[in-house]
Structures are given as C-alpha cells and as structure tokens.
Amino acid sequence: MKKPFAKTFIKLTLIAVAAIMALAPPSAPTVERYYARGLYPFIQGNLTALSNRSPIALFDLTLALLVAVTIGAWTFWLRRVRREKSIKPIGRGLFATLSGASIVYLWFLGAWGLNYARPTIESQVAFDDSRITPQAVRLLAEHAVREANKTHAAAHAEGFPSIHEWPTALSDALHQVERELGRPSPTRVAHPKTSILSPFYRAAGVSGQLAPFFLETLLNPDLTGPERPAVLAHEWAHLSGFAPESDASFVGYLAALRAGPAAEYSVWLDLVSESANQLQPVTQRLVLEKLAAGPRQDQEAIRQRLKALVRPVERMAWSTYDQMLKSQGVDEGVRSYSRVIQLLIGTDVLKLPSQ
C-alpha cells in the first residue's frame, strides 16, 4: 500500500468511525458493562493522575495547540491556492480538517463522552415518578429553606474551601456514594483548577466544567464560598462517569450532604434556588420569605457575581451546549439541569416530611 493511499485510507477510516459513533452509538447496557464499569475507570484514573501533576490546565494547552495547528494549516493551504491557482488545496484542507475533528471527537468519546450513553440514574436507584407532584416540589423547597437556615451558622464557622482546595471529606463522601451505586473502583478526583477560559465562564454564567481530554475539573474563580462545595461535587460526579447534568447534580448532592457543615449548607442553598424556580410565582414568594437573613446575604452575593454576565455570550454558550447535549442523547438539553428536583423527590433520598 503506497503511503499517500495509506494516509487517505486512515483518514477515511477515522471519519467513518466517528460518523458511526455519532449516528449509531453503542447500546446503554453495552456501554455500562464494558465502558462505564470496565474501561472508563482505568482511563479516568490514569488521565486524571497525569493531569493532577500539572499546576495548569492541560485542557488549556490542548485548546491552544488545536487552534494554533488549525490556523497554521489553513494559512498554508490558502497560500497554496494562490501559488497553484487552484481550489484543490481547499479540498485537501477540508478533508484534513474533517479527519482531525474526527480524532478529537473519538478522543472525547473514549476519554469520557461515552458516559452519555449510559443508563440514567433512575435505573440505578429506587425511583417512583408518581411521587413527583407540585405539592412535593413545594415541600422540597420548604425543606431546603429550613435546612439552609439551620446549617448556615455552622457552615460559615467551618469555612468554605478555596477555589484550588481539595476537600478530603468531600472526596471520601463521593467514594461512599459511588460504592452504593456500584462503581467498581473509586474515582481519582481531580485537583480543582482555573482556566484561561475564566473570562468566558464569567460572561456565560458557567460555574465549572469537566475538561474531557485529560479529565480535569475547572472552576469559575469568581464562585462565592457557599457555592464552591456543591459545584465541585457536581464536577467530581461528572468525573465519576455521570454525564447528564441532572445525574451529576444528584450524585454531587448526595456526596456533599455527607461531607460536613460547609458542603451540606452549599447543597441546601443551591436547592433553595433550584426548587423555588419550579414553583408558581405566588407560591415561590411565600416559600422564600421564610429564608433567614444569612442565606439571603449569600444569595445576594451570588446575584452580585452574576452581574458579570454578558447576555449575548450567555445565550450563545447555552444554546451551543444545549445542542451538544441533544447530540449526545440528552433529549432535554440544558433543561436537564432542573430534572434533579424530580430525581430527589422520586427517590426519597432526602426523607421529606410527607414521604
């Protein structure tokens, strides 16, 4: 096989495999058995161990390299167009770009993205959707308000982790939840890092991200103290292989509720907003007026942080993420964030008074 033909064949194969994986992914049971409970824990442990050695985000270096290579390659091809007075270099450029994008996509799938094809959390816990009613949502909101009021003082007395801190109590709690959900080995948690994308996170309202190429945890450096434990637990749950946002929030909440006063309060404060947002305006006002001064001040600090939002950037970012989620089989897109309320009500993990 001659070298030019061999290269073309390899590129065509990469494009074909990427297309097949995008259009006809493996079944959920296959992914769960061979990837989520087999290959992925091995990949995750090694990639995160590697990225933990770097004080800066390898995701940033990867993005910079991909951008530089793309710009350099297209500069070369466009110059060839002028030199050869032919559009053939553009065709070669498009073919090379498509094969390169296929490599990146397959890297994403192999390193983490196949977790989107796993069975959802409802199949791993006792879930009863008949429990989900407007009254149950109100009960959850009222419960979250009471717990936020009750845990505020102890949380602030303990103090919240810094943006780069690795709370061992939270990682230990995550490992306990993982064992209960049947994960074969504990997740190697990623040291929280900040990113060159932080200005974008501020403008778009992004709290954190699992960086898929080297399985890193990236946080918005502007997060307030009371936000950090819940956000970190959410991102570590992604790292554990729970790809849908609602599943990651559910697992993250369960872990944080067992990780001490600061993490527990962080969950309840977050749940006050998440559950109240699903109430009718009048009911929402009646529930939130019972929130004490301390949690109100923490909510106000979060609102002040979110003033950095740039609405066009926020809309573009969340629209793009919505389409990405849907392309990976999450039919609800970004609306899946709010589904965690239904998961909490339908599983009885919070032991609400009427349940």
**How far is the C-alpha of 329 from the C-alpha of 17, rounded, in Å?**
18
Main-chain dihedrals φ then ψ at residue 174, nearest 5 degrees: -60, -45
* Predicted local distance difference test score (pLDDT) of residue 326: 58
- Are the C-beta atoms of 347 and 126 separated by less than 8 Å? yes
Q: Which residue ranges in the chain fall short of pLDDT 70?
A: 1-5, 313-314, 317-318, 321-337, 352-355
- State both tokens at 134: 């407007």
**How far is the C-alpha of 40 from the C-alpha of 348, rounded, in Å?**
29
Assessment of whether the complete model's pTM goes beyond 0.85: yes
Of 69, 67, 47, which is closest to residue 58 (Cα–Cα)? 47
Tell me: the pLDDT tens digits for 144-165?
A: 999 999 999 999 999 999 999 9
Q: Where are the beta strands (DSSP E) in 83-212?
A: 208-211
Pairing of strands 208-211, 216-219: antiparallel
Question: What is the residue extent of each domain of the chain?
Answer: 3-117, 125-347
